[in-house]
Amino acid sequence: MTHRISFLEQKTVHGLFSLFCMLCIVYCVILVAIVFSVIQRKENALASTTLTNRLMEVENHYADTLATLDDSTLASLGFHKFDGTTFAVRKDPIATYALLYAR
């Protein structure tokens, strides 16, 4: 009792098997892309934390340096204090930065 597979059935099985293999490859590519994306996100979060810590250090150093400045130190560095200086401030509600600085 032999069972002969027709040419059409053989091509259909081969086609379905090829389609299954292609879908497996696409699935693996997507899976690898997701894994690398998660790894990159964790690296970015770590880099962000490192940058935040470094920024806090720089801000603390700036605040410490600013706290050490007084009039005598500034005068020794060649800075002069001008008394009676005023700045013009426009208080109209229509005055926006875009309007003030537009060319």
Q: In this predicted model, what pLDDT tens digit does every residue of 65-103 receive, in sequence order?
A: 888 888 888 888 888 877 777 777 666 666 555 544 544
Residue 1 included in any domain: no
Taking the C-alpha atoms of residue 56 and residue 62, their distance in angstroms, rounded to an integer, is 10
Residues in the chain: 103
Our count of domains for the chain comes to 1
pLDDT top residue among 4 and 21: 21
Residue 13 lies in a domain: yes
Q: Is residue 32 part of a domain?
A: yes
Terminal CA-to-CA distance of the chain, rounded, Å? 93
Range of the domain at 16: 7-101
Indicate whether 52 pLDDT > 50. Answer: yes
Q: Please report whether residue 71 resides in a domain.
A: yes
Q: Is 2 domain-assigned? A: no
